[in-house]
A and B are shown apart, each in its own frame.
Chain A
Amino acid sequence: METEGRYTLVGTLVLAVVALMTLAIVWLAGAADQIAYQTYTIYFRQQSLDGLAVGSPVKMRGIKIGVVDSYRFAQGSEEAVSVTARIDEGVPVRQGAAAYIKRNLVTGIAAVEIDNGAADRPPLDKAPSGERYPVIAEGSSDIDKVATALSRLAVNGAQVLEKMNALMSDENQRAISQTLAHLNELSGHLAANKTSLDAAVQGIRDASDEFRFAGASISQAATRAEGSITDVGRSADAALREAATAMARLQQDATDISSRIQQLSETGTLEITNVSRDVRTSADVLTTAGQRLSNPRAILFGPVQQQLGPGESLP
């Protein structure tokens, strides 16, 4: 009897425990369902989602504010991954917020970090056309920026290495070796001719001193000459002005003289023409008078009948 009584107690306790566990599960599940979430969609196009899984945390400024509910490749031409995240309804996600993948460098576990928008922006609570939930834009993490910079640095470094490699080609190495040999030879010559070089340097130094003295002398001479030139310049300026005035007057006089000479030439030509004609006329008159005097009879006794003109007659 005693043994049977213990089985009943154990069975009762087991049933009680199962009932309590069932109640606890139902209670916990119901409590979870009572937490308020706001669902958002994030399209990741640039970043890798390596280490991200369903249930991965969604954080804002390092504080978990939600979880990843699901993810899938987005339909359409763009190779984007659509991540559905449930975020606590009490967390205000504003317009202009951006999401990026933040990955633990040691474990590789990834989380979605949301960089919220400015405080004065309105909340992001409306779904765009064709979307079921509001869409948080994809951002870029500091790691990505560093990685991009490192990638460019690596590319540039590779180019530099290639150029260095080209610079250090066999031909260039031979040229550099020859240059070094020439330099060595030159230094040897310089060392051998050190005395001559010292003498040359001394000569240059002496010449420099003489040149400096000469410069000083030239400077003094120039100072003296400047004063003289200034005086000469003033005198020359006055002389030039007088010369210019005289030249202008001379030019005017020359113009007047030229005009008068031209006028004299023209009028003189006419005058000479007239005089010559008068002289010729006078010569003709004298010739005619001479012809008349050549017949003294006609002068003394008058014309004869044959000399009379039409209508003329002698008494």
Chain B
Amino acid sequence: MKPYLALAACALALAGCVNFGDQPDAPAPTYYVLDDATPARPASQGAPDAAPVLVVLDTTASAFYDADALVFSRTPGTRGQYQFARWTERPGKRFANLLRNRLDGQGAWRVVGAGGYVRGDWMLDTELVEFYHDATQSPGVFRLVLRAELIDLGQRSLIGRKVFARDVPLASFDAAGAAQAANRATAAVLDELDAWLASSR
């Protein structure tokens, strides 16, 4: 039995050294950073102590969108993933961070994440309903649909709910153009969300 066991161990060791995924001819994936395309504002002095505490939850999204791959749609009702383009962060997590940065820059809110240690006055819950490159036409548009809910934590009541939708044309019919359009769409939706929050105070 011992020769068979030694042979099996050698086979397993050799199998671990084999790299089936090494495809020297395949292009390397490109990682894109989802960003707020609005020009950076000067740093705020911070919100005053009397400003309400706004708890911003992480943005949720469907499992297909909340992945590292960029999503496209060649025909209505279908979705696909770019094979050689990746997001550096999942869109849901990244969008929530961009949202907190935007609100922090205003100085009208004391923005916190849902860490569980701070009692908030209001809470903002967002969901990415659509987040993909509509490639039914060339070069297509990047479609972003965001649903937001503003909740009064003291009264446990819903202050308002709104859906923001934005289609941004692509500059080029590829993943790079889709990433740039996603950034502009994100900036536009953040602008609308910003105005809506200011009007809800």
Question: Does B84 lie within 8 Å of A287, measured CB to CB?
Answer: no
Question: Does B26 lie within 8 Å of A315, measured CB to CB?
Answer: yes
Q: Shortest beta-carbon distance, A204 to chain B, in Å?
A: 78
Closest to A270 in B: B114
Tell me the A284-305 residues at the B interface (CB within 8 Å).
Answer: 284-285, 287-288, 299-303
Q: What are 23 A-to-B residue pairs whose CB atoms are below 8 Å?
A: A266-B120, A267-B116, A270-B57, A274-B114, A274-B116, A281-B90, A281-B92, A284-B63, A284-B66, A287-B63, A299-B20, A302-B23, A302-B83, A309-B80, A309-B133, A310-B140, A310-B173, A310-B178, A311-B176, A312-B83, A312-B85, A314-B26, A315-B27
Question: Does A310 lie within 8 Å of B27, measured CB to CB?
Answer: no
Known A-B contacts A284-B63, A284-B66, A287-B63; the reply to A311 vs B172 at CB < 8 A is: yes
Q: Shortest beta-carbon distance, A297 to chain B, in Å?
A: 10
Contact with A along B127-152 (1 / 0, CB 8 A): 00000010100111000000000000
Among candidates A271, A300, A308, residue contacting B83 with C-beta atoms closer than 8 Å: A308
- B4 at the A interface (CB under 8 A): no
Known A-B contacts A267-B116, A268-B116, A270-B116; the reply to A309 vs B21 at CB < 8 A is: no
Closest to A272 in B: B116
Question: Does B55 lie within 8 Å of A270, measured CB to CB?
Answer: yes
Chain B neighbourhood of A312, CB < 8 A: 27, 82-85, 174-175
Range of interface residues on chain A?
A: 20 to 34
Known A-B contacts A300-B21, A301-B23, A303-B83; the reply to A310 vs B174 at CB < 8 A is: yes
- A307 at the B interface (CB under 8 A): yes
Instruction: Compute how far the CA of A271 lies from the CA of B119 in the bound complex, rounded to whole angstroms.
Output: 11
Chain A neighbourhood of B33, CB < 8 A: none
Chain A neighbourhood of B67, CB < 8 A: 284-285, 288
Closest to A262 in B: B119
- A277 at the B interface (CB under 8 A): yes
Number of B residues with CB within 8 Å of any CB on chain A: 47
- A177 at the B interface (CB under 8 A): no
Instruction: Compute how far the CA of A274 lies from the CA of B133 in the bound complex, rounded to whole angstroms.
Output: 29
Closest to A268 in B: B116
Q: Is the interface of A mostly helix, strand, loop or mixed?
A: helix
Chain B neighbourhood of A268, CB < 8 A: 116
Question: Does B63 lie within 8 Å of A310, measured CB to CB?
Answer: no
- A228 at the B interface (CB under 8 A): no
Contact with A along B152-171 (1 / 0, CB 8 A): 01000000000000000000
Chain B neighbourhood of A270, CB < 8 A: 55, 57, 114, 116, 120, 123
- B72 at the A interface (CB under 8 A): yes
Question: Does B133 lie within 8 Å of A310, measured CB to CB?
Answer: yes
Chain B neighbourhood of A287, CB < 8 A: 63
Q: Shortest beta-carbon distance, A229 to chain B, in Å?
A: 53
Instruction: Compute how far the CA of A308 lies from the CA of B175 in the bound complex, rounded to whole angstroms.
Output: 11
- B54 at the A interface (CB under 8 A): no
Q: Shortest beta-carbon distance, A231 to chain B, in Å?
A: 52
- A263 at the B interface (CB under 8 A): yes
Closest to B170 in A: A310
Chain B neighbourhood of A310, CB < 8 A: 72, 74, 82, 133, 135, 138-140, 173-175, 178
Closest to B139 in A: A310
Instruction: Compute how far the CA of A84 lies from the CA of B150 in the bound complex, rounded to whole angstroms.
Output: 119
- A48 at the B interface (CB under 8 A): no
Question: Does B119 lie within 8 Å of A266, measured CB to CB?
Answer: yes
- A173 at the B interface (CB under 8 A): no
Among candidates A277, A285, A311, residue contacting B60 with C-beta atoms closer than 8 Å: A277
Chain B neighbourhood of A274, CB < 8 A: 57-58, 114, 116
- B106 at the A interface (CB under 8 A): no
Instruction: Tell which of B81, B92, B140, B172 has the most Cβ of chain A within 10 Å.
Output: B81
Chain B neighbourhood of A308, CB < 8 A: 83
Known A-B contacts A270-B114, A301-B23; the reply to A288 vs B83 at CB < 8 A is: no
Instruction: Compute how far the CA of A267 lies from the CA of B153 in the bound complex, rounded to whole angstroms.
Output: 10
Chain A neighbourhood of B64, CB < 8 A: 288
Contact with A along B110-125 (1 / 0, CB 8 A): 0000111111100100
Among candidates A263, A277, A309, residue contacting B175 with C-beta atoms closer than 8 Å: A309
- A273 at the B interface (CB under 8 A): yes
Instruction: Tell which of A263, A270, A288 has the most Cβ of chain B within 10 Å.
Output: A270
Instruction: Compute how far the CA of A302 lies from the CA of B175 in the bound complex, rounded to whole angstroms.
Output: 18
Tell me the B22-67 residues at the A interface (CB within 8 Å).
Answer: 23, 25-27, 55, 57-58, 60, 62-64, 66-67
Instruction: Compute how far the CA of A268 lies from the CA of B139 in the bound complex, rounded to whole angstroms.
Output: 47
Instruction: Compute how far the CA of A209 lies from the CA of B70 in the bound complex, rounded to whole angstroms.
Output: 113
Chain B neighbourhood of A277, CB < 8 A: 57-58, 60
Question: Does B58 lie within 8 Å of A299, measured CB to CB?
Answer: no
Chain A neighbourhood of B84, CB < 8 A: 309, 312
